[in-house]
Amino acid sequence: MTDSLARKQSSNETRFVLHPYRSLSPRGFLILMGLISLISFVVGMVFFLMGAWPVFGFFGLDVALIYYAFKRNYRSGRIYETITLSPDVLKLTRVHPTGEREEFDFNPYWARVRVSVDHPDGRTSMRLAARGKEVLFGQFLTDDERRDFADVLAGALVSARGARF
């Protein structure tokens, strides 16, 4: 399984948790921000001592904007999706960074996983479809992760259908 996918299986229920991958750990973020702050301070002081004191403020503004951008990125990374599959129901639950939850239920017998190429550059999208209802999910996964997960979920759907009968 990839870093963006966790799988848990009990007797007749399978659960997948999808979450975005963030390569920079919180500790790495602190180190990076410390280095950026230090470099900006040193270079800003050089300009300050040369008499170009407004440049010092712009270096501080740069650090603040970089910090803000990283915090926004980490906040958007708190989204996750849970797929719970049993012989009776396939449930997709999406939890947004704000805590808002969306739930979609499908009959596993009718549910299909579709991966399609939507963009000219080869980017894909993944959908759950059943009886005219279609839900886009896993948008934060990479294209390879989408293809791999679609295969895993399709196999799990086949197993759940077999367990039902």
User: What residue spans define the domains of the chain?
Assistant: 5-21+81-164, 26-76
| CA neighbor of 160 nearest in space, from 19, 18, 5, 15 | 15
Task: Tell me the pLDDT of the chain averaged across its residues.
Answer: 89
What secondary structure letter does DSSP report for 117? E
CATH of domain 5-21+81-164: 2.30.29
Higher pLDDT: 122 or 15? It is 15
| CA neighbor of 40 nearest in space, from 68, 20, 71, 61 | 61
Query: What is the tens place of the pLDDT at every residue in 30-42?
Result: 999 999 999 999 9
Task: Look at 7-11, 29-33, 127-131 and tell me which has the smallest mean pLDDT.
Answer: 7-11
Q: CA 17, CA 34: separation in Å to the nearest integer?
A: 33
Residue 79 has pLDDT above 60, yes or no: yes
pTM of the model: 0.75
User: Which pLDDT does position 131 carry in this prediction?
Assistant: 87
| CA neighbor of 33 nearest in space, from 66, 69, 77 | 66
Which residue in the block uniquely carries the two structure tokens 């790495």? 28
User: Which pLDDT does position 2 carry in this prediction?
Assistant: 56
Contacting residues for 66 by C-beta, under 8 A, at least 6 apart: 33, 36
